[in-house]
Structure 1
Amino acid sequence: MTTDSYLGYSDRLLRLAGDLNTKPWHASRGAVESALNGQAAEQLRALVPRTVRRAQGAFFTGSHVRAQFEDLLEDSSAFWDPACGAGDLLLAAAGKQRLGASMRDTLHIWGKSLRGGDLQSSFVQTAKIRLFLLAATRHKERGESIDIDVASGLELLKGIRVADAYGELERTRSYDGTLVLNPPFGSMQAPADCGWASGSVSQAAVISSISASKICLGQQFVAILPDVLRSGSRYARWRSSIESVIDLKTIVPYGQFDDHTDVDVFLLAGRRRRRRTVPDPSALWWPQQTSSSTIEDIFKVSVGTVVDNRDPHSGPELPFLIARDLGDLGSIETPVRSRNFAGRTYKPPFVAVRRTSRPGLRSGGNARAAGTLVTGTQEIAVDNHIIVIESRSGSIAECNQLINILNSPKTSDWLDNRIRCRHLTVGVVRSIPWSQ
């Protein structure tokens, strides 16, 4: 699977850039502004099938998140994006670069100070053309003419080329400049020498971990990463590994990457430091607990034990609770659904919460961690898509009080700041503040 269909857009940009030498600026300005602000991502969705985009991990940075990213960048003599795509982060970096006496001089400077790579030649070509268009825009804003043709201008941008991010990073001992990153969001097998995970992990986690260790002491590292790395319990060791080499300055939860990509992201900025041991992730990753007590102090929190498509239908026949049977009810008695199960069961009363949970209010205005009180006298088998919260005292009154807390806007806001993944974790639910 390739992204060759994107070449059509790259060719259109090439013609646009070529016209700048022959057409008046006012005739091209609108098209240039579109090319620099979001159009590359729009054309990717229009020209490249979703299956191919997912396989390649190709999701370009939009203009809104790029603007917030650019605010985190500090002045630097050099910038490198090892997975540059269509060059959005390089455009942000170029905004931090000085202009030369002419557009030719500017492109010569940028050719030395900007480095980027991508496996897709159509993306690399697009990135270089967009940098040419940005240089043209900045010089036109100064009232200057364009003194170089597009072919010669692209030739000066020698640091932007077809390259494999992993290979380039592995061959780099130390990069003396700012490293910017919006890596692929897909999954991969953890490298054999990965010290923080094994098996299938986020590509973004692997590339960011390698990248952070490749810059020189004192140099800046700025990245856009999937929120699961910031808030997911599985990536606690990844967070510690990043802290061991990066002196973190800023972590900003951003929200959904764009209207077409159902992944929440965050922005990270810091500077390279000498490697050190970090026993626990710092307070920067999420807001610190201010309540004196949490749900864990009063309740036992666990995940339902039935994996329905895998566990054998053996053992006693039991009432069986699954997520879609919770509905929007505040309470439910013994479930009518049943199943044979020989594993751990739960005795009511307890509160059931769906693990699947999008940031913000669900449809109908329900809270993100809306709870359902389960009552009755029989032991219940519970599906593993449900988080079970059991009162240590067995009090229905405490369960009802918990439901009020879970349903409150304050708790939904707290959860959105703490975890913007598409599911809740036991650790996060345990740490929800308990307020009377």
Structure 2
Amino acid sequence: MTQAFDIVIVGAGMVGAALATGLGRSGFRVALVDRGSAPVFDASLSPDIRVSALSAGSERYLSELGVWPDILAMRATPYARLAVWDETPHPLSNLLPRKIADVVFDASNLSARHLGHIVENRITQQALWNCAASLPTVSLFPDKAVTSLDNGDDHAGVTLEDGTDLTCQLVVGADGAASGVRDLAGIGITRDQYQQQAMVISVRYQGPVEDITWQGFYPSGPRAFLPLHSAGNGESWASLVWYDSPEELARLKSLDNSALMAEIQNAFPPELPLLTHIDARASFPIVRQHANTYVNNRVVLAGDAAHTINPLAGQGVNLGFQDARCLQSVIREAKRAGCDLAGPAWLVKYEQQRRPANRRMMLAMDVFYHLFSNRTPPLHLLRNLGLGAAKAMPFARNRVAKYAMGIDDELPLVIRQLTERLPGFKQL
């Protein structure tokens, strides 16, 4: 059986589902294919261990798509402050205040109510799936894997595992870091795996929901706190992130909950509230990869299929939403001009806008990773000077905050200059 569409999007995660919703609202005939089923939210269940810090820019995009009210109706936790400080011991540790160079980004300094929201991934994805499914121009194909790709000169298409053929003008690969579409299109990647891994732990703590998310930096890697919703009975949920060596995280994962809780309370900064319960834990490698090209003929990549970055500042899904917003804008322009949706000039325009922006963020995360994840005295001095300068200069601090919130499109000058001096910047 063959079905015809304007666009086939493979991957119905947050980025793919957002793109399908945006294009469907613009009247394009869209097929949204995913090997998984639609996510299901149940308010009585513990929070999803996978959460994202959605920036103000992502909130604005999701509002344009009409799904932000649905996300808020489920659950989302606003945060008004973001704190960063260095926890590396130094010769004067016993003489100086512990957080001599802590930096706090505060929404009140930006005339904003919040910096962003912490949202469970399944909530964002379900809201987008529901919205896409409600559009008459969008057809969902859940629980279907793509087995082959047709990337012709005048048409494109995919074949599903049940033998269904979907033909179109353009195929979008939004199927994650291990993208099958990217492989079928013959698009290579550059890939670097970090020495660290990250463990995510879903916990409950005593006290009300906090309005701050923070990261303390240690030589072995950062340890982060992300507030979630109330758990009732005077407790709240939170997501913790512990970066460390694979060997150390394997040891931690082998502990029972009471032993792990004791390790966390001892190893995390004293700002961590008193934990009462561990619900779930998972670890994953940290990999930076970038597709050699975002476009091959009638195939275009978006989100993690095109790029993955160090999750240090939680910017991965925000970059993916920026990809989706840009790509749908370019496709609309092509349609208004009466052009082929996969016309090279249009898809190159998308890559020319998104590749440099994604590359800058990837390298900015590398700056922070290499600057903080070590015990080298000169770098220790440099990072504390940098944090101290950011603390002393509100204008510079607020520029960084606006970029992270998706309000400003450009990295602050000093960070751009640092990234451009990193080895490998030109190759990414």
Report TM bin, short chain.
under 0.3
Greater share of residues in strand: 2
Higher Cα Rg, which structure: 1
User: Which structure has the higher relative contact order (CA within 8 Å, separation 6+)?
Assistant: 2
Question: When the two structures are superposed, what TM-score results if normalisation uses the length of structure 2?
Answer: 0.21
